[in-house]
Amino acid sequence: MLHALLDATQVLGTLEIDGAAYEVCAEAVANHDRHTNQLTVNLRAFLRSEKQDHIGETTTPAWIPQPQTVTEHVEGGEAHEMANEVFATWRRKVSGVIPR
């Protein structure tokens, strides 16, 4: 049976591109299969427009890391903590490529 552990999007900063403000976002969706003890964490990053007439629109410039899927074999009691650690690592990776 699949157990949903994490579905999170975190804003890591804001960026202006061609006069428009964007939020730099990191996202993780994690599930744990209790029968196989397999944790799957789907990771992606994107820019989200802050303009009211473009709410919900996202874009992925070339400097943003490509989506990744991480799989680990962990017991159910450790799965949530492991998912949080994977997401923390992803957030650091995405933060590290934000143009300053």
Output the six-digit token pair for 34: 């209790």
Percent of the chain, pLDDT > 70? 95
Which whole number is the average pLDDT over 46-60? Answer: 81
Ranges of beta strands (E only) in the chain are 2-17, 20-33, 38-49, 58-59, 68-73
Q: Is the pLDDT of residue 100 over 90?
A: no
| Contact present, 3 and 38 (Cβ < 8 Å) | no
| Contact present, 76 and 3 (Cβ < 8 Å) | yes
Give the model's pLDDT for residue 54: 66
Tell me: the pLDDT tens digits for 81-93? 999 999 999 999 9
Dist. CA 87–CA 76, nearest whole Å: 17
Which whole number is the average pLDDT over 45-57? Answer: 81
Ranges of beta strands (E only) in 34-64 are 38-49, 58-59
Q: Is the pLDDT of residue 1 over 90?
A: no
Q: Is the pLDDT of residue 53 over 80?
A: no
